């Protein structure tokens, strides 16, 4: 592996202040080292304020809160750089700094006033590295921009035009510096999203399951993870077995079956089963997988539009080179040929795409939506159909208990206590409603063990040694064979009132019903109308609710074109697939484990901030707050990005074609052509960044949303 030998090369502290450390290491000269990854791995540590990398000086400066624990974590992170930080095809940046730009500019300005021998010696010294790089590129990668630059310098030097050679070199240096700064700025903006999330976690302690802050987790604790939950630690399974989705880490789409004795990866998601995992690594030690996933999806990977732009840019370089050779063959004018060769379409086309894309992604995050990579941005711009799961998306997902209907021999308090005890572990709007109602009534919850989540059906748990079932009528009556006939009439009355029902059974006998109601989001109608106005042709609602509840909701939302009720998870995915078969570009918005199949098969999956871990992992787009209008803004940003890239492409083609024509006709000098090309490239990059950095709507995240990000 590429990274293994480099793990032994440590960073050396060369200067330190109470809240600032400067490190140095020759490992930064390694061509395959991804400096973005290195910077992000340190920036993600809690307590680190900023990280600045100086590639040419192979130094790294870290500003932090000054605590010994954070200092130790920084040093440990830099001592053990994982394999993921090294890329086989990593392209090093220009590594041009302001000193280099200033020095080249000063030499170019002084050239006319120097003796000819000094001009020649100085100019050849500055030109040879570029000429050598051009030759190396020609034989290893073909005709690229380095070949054009090297040829221009060679022609100018052979003609004895030292001023032009040095001036072109200074302009190229300035252009490279500004291009690097533009791209790095957009990358830095995006990497600010890498700060660790703050989560709660369930552990087993003294035979009881308790909830603690993730930051309080210690090595050796027994962590409990159920279906749909993300495994937050690297550890060893000591009890239980299940199907684990590791695709976000390993890239392997097929879930793996793990059992006692097997190791778990931080960031994997439990699809089926409940696991008890001994924590072997906690805190910063588990952060690398998350960082790598983010960088792979958001920084390293390229969208289809980025790939197409890069391919087009590479194809245009040989055309420019051919035009230069053609001009020289026709005119025998080396100066005119050099002027043509300074015109390069590829810079503006190739660089404007990552600048605009990353800036758009950051702008969307500021508006309240996290996009997992450039492809998510492209897909969001392309959709013409939106499908919403009802609960937690168009509705608040803040269900409120309205009725408690216990069977004889049970009180309302007993029914609620038993149900809330079983549901306390489950991150779902229904579960939260039951637990919140118990807390509001100040009802103590019993000790619970053996919790098992049955996706889209309900929860099974042991309360005081008795098996409790909480879930839908289908789950309790049909799957678990509990007689619910006594409540049939009452259940129908509650459903006719538009309420959702929860059936509660203990030791295979029904002990009562819990009815609750969900409210429509206040901005839902406004958001749906805005989607229709913005070009979304069709909007549909999917729900597992009964027909009466679903139709009552749809009646409040005129923009909705269709509503589907009493659906299973596979039914939701089937509807999305049918829409795609009909030619629609579909976006699906959901938040539960049962929404995962639809999130995966949609053109773009959208997850709410309070969504289950499996839903967040499966989605391409994650909302950072509960306001649906932020999703409308995110799509506007995506469409704006697409239009900006189109404008950049045509601007580059028009400006460079005009410059190429004038250069070929001998109307402008080599220096003027180089200046026009470089200034236009910088201008296009500036336009791309500026045009994609504006958001017209920004909602403040809710506290719950802040915790999930």
The rounded distance, in Å, linking the Cα atoms of 98 and 105 is 10
In a shared domain, residues 162 and 66: no
The rounded distance, in Å, linking the Cα atoms of 182 and 351 is 9
Range of 237's domain? 200-295
User: Considering the domain boundaries, does residue 536 fall inside one?
Assistant: yes
Q: What is the CATH number of the domain that holds 27?
A: 3.30.1360
Q: Which has the closest alpha carbon to 434: 460, 471, 474, 473? A: 471
In a shared domain, residues 236 and 176: no
List of residues 6+ apart from 306 with CB closer than 8 A: 353, 354, 357, 374
In a shared domain, residues 404 and 324: no
The rounded distance, in Å, linking the Cα atoms of 491 and 485 is 10
User: Considering the domain boundaries, does residue 135 fall inside one?
Assistant: yes
Query: Packing angle between helix 346-367 and helix 629-664, nearest 10 degrees?
Result: 170
What 3-state class would DSSP assign to 378?
helix
In a shared domain, residues 407 and 512: yes
In a shared domain, residues 23 and 55: yes
In a shared domain, residues 238 and 313: no
In a shared domain, residues 392 and 406: no
Q: Which has the closest alpha carbon to 546: 510, 503, 496? A: 496
What is the domain count for the chain? 5
In a shared domain, residues 308 and 446: no
User: Considering the domain boundaries, does residue 697 fall inside one?
Assistant: no
Q: What is the DSSP string of 48-77?
A: EEEEEEETTTTEEEEEE---HHHHHHHHHH
What's the confidence (pLDDT) of residue 93?
53
The rounded distance, in Å, linking the Cα atoms of 141 and 149 is 15
C-alpha triplet 443, 448, 454: angle, nearest 5°:
110
The rounded distance, in Å, linking the Cα atoms of 261 and 279 is 13
Q: Which has the closest alpha carbon to 628: 521, 517, 518, 543? A: 521
Q: How many CA atoms lie within 13 A of 476 on its CB side?
A: 27
In a shared domain, residues 106 and 170: yes
Do the Cβ atoms of 574 and 555 come closer than 8 Å?
no
User: Considering the domain boundaries, does residue 618 fall inside one?
Assistant: yes
In a shared domain, residues 391 and 535: yes
DSSP 8-state class, residue 373: S
The rounded distance, in Å, linking the Cα atoms of 399 and 600 is 26
User: Considering the domain boundaries, does residue 429 fall inside one?
Assistant: yes
What 3-state class would DSSP assign to 471?
strand
The rounded distance, in Å, linking the Cα atoms of 297 and 521 is 31
Q: What are the structure tokens assigned to 40, written together?
A: 């992000």
Q: Which has the closest alpha carbon to 321: 147, 451, 115, 537? A: 147
DSSP 8-state class, residue 566: S
Residue with tokens 């079956």: 257
What's the confidence (pLDDT) of residue 547?
80
What's the confidence (pLDDT) of residue 294?
55
What's the confidence (pLDDT) of residue 698?
57
In a shared domain, residues 589 and 529: yes
The rounded distance, in Å, linking the Cα atoms of 160 and 566 is 82
**C-alpha 174: how far from its chain's center?**
32
In a shared domain, residues 605 and 465: no
Q: Which has the closest alpha carbon to 34: 83, 1, 80? A: 83
Do the Cβ atoms of 267 and 293 come closer than 8 Å?
yes
In the chain, which stretches have pLDDT less than 70?
Answer: 1-9, 88-97, 175, 178-199, 247-254, 282-302, 397, 427-428, 454-456, 612-614, 695-709
What's the confidence (pLDDT) of residue 528?
94
């Amino acid at each position: 592996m590429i990274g293994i030998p480099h793990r032994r090369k440590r960073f050396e502290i060369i200067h330190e202040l109470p809240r600032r450390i400067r490190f140095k290491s020759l490992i930064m000269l390694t061509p395959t080292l991804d400096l973005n990854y290195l910077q992000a791995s340190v920036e993600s540590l809690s307590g680190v304020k900023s990280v600045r990398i100086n590639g040419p000086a192979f130094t790294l400066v870290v500003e932090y809160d000054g605590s010994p624990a954070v200092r130790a974590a920084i040093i440990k992170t830099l001592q053990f750089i994982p394999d993921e930080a090294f890329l086989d095809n990593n392209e090093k940046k220009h590594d041009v700094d302001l000193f280099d730009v200033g020095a080249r500019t000063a030499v170019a300005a002084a050239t006319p006033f120097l003796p000819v021998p000094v001009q020649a010696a100085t100019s050849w010294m500055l030109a040879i590295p570029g000429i050598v790089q051009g030759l190396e590129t020609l034989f290893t990668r073909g005709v690229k921009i380095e070949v054009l630059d090297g040829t221009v310098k060679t022609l100018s030097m052979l003609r004895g035009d030292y001023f032009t050679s040095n001036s072109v070199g200074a302009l190229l240096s300035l252009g490279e510096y500004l291009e690097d700064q533009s791209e790095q700025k957009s990358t830095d903006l995006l990497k600010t999203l890498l700060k660790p999330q703050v989560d709660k976690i369930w552990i087993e302690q003294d035979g009881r399951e308790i909830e603690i802050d993730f930051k309080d987790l210690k090595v050796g604790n027994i962590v409990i993870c159920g279906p749909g939950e993300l495994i937050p630690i690297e550890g060893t399974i000591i009890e239980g077995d299940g199907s684990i989705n590791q695709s976000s880490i390993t890239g392997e789409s097929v879930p793996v079956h793990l059992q006692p004795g097997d190791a778990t990866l931080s960031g994997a998601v439990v699809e089926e089963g409940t696991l008890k995992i001994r924590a072997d690594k906690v805190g910063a030690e588990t952060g690398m997988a998350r960082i790598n996933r983010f960088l792979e999806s958001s920084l390293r990977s390229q969208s289809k539009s980025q790939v197409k732009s890069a391919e087009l840019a590479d194809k245009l370089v040989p055309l420019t080179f051919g035009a230069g050779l053609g001009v020289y063959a026709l005119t025998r004018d080396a100066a005119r040929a050099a002027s043509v060769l300074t015109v390069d379409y590829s810079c503006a086309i190739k660089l404007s795409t990552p600048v605009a894309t990353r800036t758009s992604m950051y702008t969307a995050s500021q508006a309240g939506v996290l996009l997992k990579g450039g492809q998510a941005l492209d897909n969001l711009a392309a959709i013409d159909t939106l499908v919403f799961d009802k609960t937690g998306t168009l509705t608040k997902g803040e269900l409120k208990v309205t009725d408690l209907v216990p069977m004889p021999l049970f009180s309302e308090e007993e029914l609620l206590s038993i149900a809330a005890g079983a549901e306390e572990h489950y991150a779902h709007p229904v579960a939260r409603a039951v637990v919140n109602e118990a807390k509001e009534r100040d009802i103590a919850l019993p000790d619970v063990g053996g919790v098992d989540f049955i996706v889209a059906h309900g929860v099974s748990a042991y309360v005081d040694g008795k098996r409790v079932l909480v879930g839908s009528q289908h789950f309790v009556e049909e799957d678990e064979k509990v007689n619910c006939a006594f409540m049939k009439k009452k259940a129908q009355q509650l459903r006719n009132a538009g309420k959702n029902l929860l059936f509660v059974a203990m030791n295979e006998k029904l002990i009562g019903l819990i009815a609750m109601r969900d409210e429509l989001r206040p901005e839902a109608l406004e958001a749906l109308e805005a989607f229709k106005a913005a070009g979304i042709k069709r909007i549909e609602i999917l729900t597992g609710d009964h027909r009466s509840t679903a139709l009552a909701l749809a009646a409040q939302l005129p923009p909705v074109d269709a509503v589907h009720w009493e659906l299973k998870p596979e039914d939701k995915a089937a509807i999305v697939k049918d829409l795609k078969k009909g030619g629609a570009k579909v976006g699906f918005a959901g938040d539960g484990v049962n929404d995962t199949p639809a999130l995966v098969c949609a053109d773009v999956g959208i997850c709410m901030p309070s969504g289950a871990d499996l839903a967040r992992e499966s989605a391409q787009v994650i909302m950072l707050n509960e306001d649906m209008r932020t999703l409308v803004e995110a799509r506007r940003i995506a469409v704006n990005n697409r239009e900006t890239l189109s404008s950049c492409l045509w601007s580059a083609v028009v400006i460079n074609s005009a410059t190429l024509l004038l250069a070929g006709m001998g109307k402008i000098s080599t220096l003027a052509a180089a200046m026009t090309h470089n200034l236009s490239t910088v201008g296009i990059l500036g336009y791309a960044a500026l045009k994609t950095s504006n958001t017209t709507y920004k909602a403040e995240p809710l506290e719950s949303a802040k915790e999930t990000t």
